[in-house]
Amino acid sequence: MSMILNLQHIVFNTYRRKMTISPEHERELYQYLWRLIENRNSKLIRIGGIANHVHLLVDLHSTVAPADLGGELKRKSSLWMKRSGLFPYFEGWGKEFFSFSKSGVHKSLVANYIRAQKEHHRVKTFEEEIYDLVVSEGFEWDEKLLT
């Protein structure tokens, strides 16, 4: 039996990082994203965020590419959010998304980080957070990533 663990920490933000994910309906959004992930034979470990972005920790099925899943999550959830009427100020997702592979030994650490998003963002903006994540993963920062 093959054993494959493909953990991805995926982050995407609302268009221009506007606060358009209403807290009273974020649960419905998270459930919708969860169903999309399950439909790709993948497993959602943790989801969380605030009004302008979403974090997901996903164990991707071996046949699913991170870029394909990220694009599908953004595309389908954007249409659903606009049609649902639950997010009247939502204009769409930002142009880019971020996906970082994670080792199984970091699974709990990343899941706890995602779980604590609301507390975390009392002291740190999304822009500060994503800068720190990108740089800590060894990438070079480019302001264009926030378009």
Diameter over CA atoms, the chain: 48
- The string of pLDDT tens digits covering residues 18-47 is 999 999 999 999 999 999 999 999 999 999
- The string of pLDDT tens digits covering residues 76-122 is 999 999 999 999 999 999 999 999 999 999 999 999 999 999 999 99
Helix (H) or strand (E) holding 110: helix 107-115
Beta bridge partners of 43: 59
Residue 52 and residue 11: Cα distance in Å, rounded?
Answer: 11
> CA-CA distances (angstroms) from residue 112 to 29, 56, 77, 79?
20, 11, 24, 29
Candidates 49, 60, 44; CA nearest to 7 is 60
Residue 110 and residue 9: Cα distance in Å, rounded?
Answer: 8
Cβ-in-10-Å burial (0-12, 13-18, 19+) of 54 comes to: buried
Under the banding of pLDDT at 50, 70 and 90, the label for residue 146 is: confident
